[in-house]
Amino acid sequence: MNIKTDIVLKSDSSRITFEIDKPNVCPICKQSGDHSLLGKNINQEDYVVSITLECTMCYEIFFAKYDVVTPREKFSHFNNPVQVVLKETFPLQKVESHLPEEMKDLFPDFEEIYVQALSAESNGLHLITGIAFRKSLEYLVKLYLITKSPSDEEEIRNEFLGKSIKRIEYPIIQKLATAATWLGNDEGHFTRKHLNYDVSDMKRFILSLSHLIVAEKVAEDAAELVD
C-alpha cells in the first residue's frame, strides 16, 4: 500500500514527506493486510528510511528499510514527496527446506548448511548459493559414509569428495551424489561444463539424495526387526 508520511530530519528539524510503498505481506506469518505503521526514521548519512510495523494478523513487529531514490540535491522540503524503494524487510523470511524430518537428528550439520543456502537464495544472493549447496552436499555424503564406516572417519573427512562418493555401495545413491557434485563444481568454477543444468537441478538432486539416505536407514531398521 502506497502511503505518504512525514519524517523530521535531525540535522535541521525540517519536516519532509516521504512516499512509501508499505509492505502488505508480513515476513513472519506470510499473511497479507494493511499493517499498522508504528514508527519511522531516516538515516541521512546512509540515505536510508526505516519503518516499524505491526502485523494485523499475527500482531508481531517487523521492519522495512528503503533506499531514497530522489536525487540528493533535490532532497529538501521544497521537493516533496521524496521517493523511496524497498530494500529489505526484517526478520528475514523463513524458508521451507522440504528435507526429511529425520535429517535434523541424523545429520544436523548438513541440515543447517542446507537451510542457510536456501535462506541466501531466498534473499537474492544467487551468485553464492550454488557454492553453499555444494558445501551442504559434501557434509551429507561424508557424514552418511562415516555412519556406515566409523572406523574410516579420519580418512573420509580428509579425502576429496569424488573419492568419498566411490565408497557408496548403492548405485542410485552414488549416481545422485555424483551428478549433484558435478553441478556443485560448476558453481565454484569460472567456466561451467553442464550448461543445461543449474542450481535448481543441484537442489533437486540433493533433496532426492537426502530422501534416499533416510529411506535406506528406515529399511535397515525394518530389516533388524524382521531378522
Tens of pLDDT, residue by residue over 38-63, are: 999 988 788 899 999 999 999 999 99
Asked if 86 and 64 count as a contact pair (C-beta separation under 8 A), the reply is: yes
Q: What are 77-112's pLDDT values in tens digits?
A: 555 788 899 988 888 766 788 999 999 999 999 999
In whole angstroms, what is the distance from residue 43 CA to residue 9 CA? 9
Is the per-residue pLDDT at 75 higher than 90?
Answer: no
User: Which residue, chain included where needed, has cell 561424508?
Assistant: 142
Domain ranges, ordered by start, for the chain: 2-90, 103-226
**Is the predicted pLDDT of residue 1 greater than 80, yes or no?**
no
- Categorize the per-residue pLDDT at 119 as very low, low, confident or very high, splitting at 50, 70 and 90: confident
- Span 132-148, average pLDDT: 97
Side by side, which strands form the sheet with 15-21?
2-8, 15-21, 82-90, 61-68, 48-54, 36-43
Is the Cβ–Cβ distance between 62 and 26 less than 8 Å? yes
What proportion of the chain, given as a percentage, has pLDDT over 70?
A: 95
Average pLDDT over residues 148-166: 97
Q: Which carries the bigger pLDDT value, residue 194 or residue 93?
A: 194
Looking at residue 73, its pLDDT comes to: 65
Task: Tell me the pLDDT tens digit for each residue of 166-189.
Answer: 999 999 999 999 999 999 999 999
Q: pLDDT at position 117, please?
A: 94
pLDDT, mean over the chain: 90
Rounded to two decimals, what is the model's pTM? Answer: 0.68
H helix or E strand, kind and range, residue 153? helix 153-158
pLDDT band at 29 (very low <50, low <70, confident <90, very high): confident
In this model, does residue 208 exceed pLDDT 60? yes
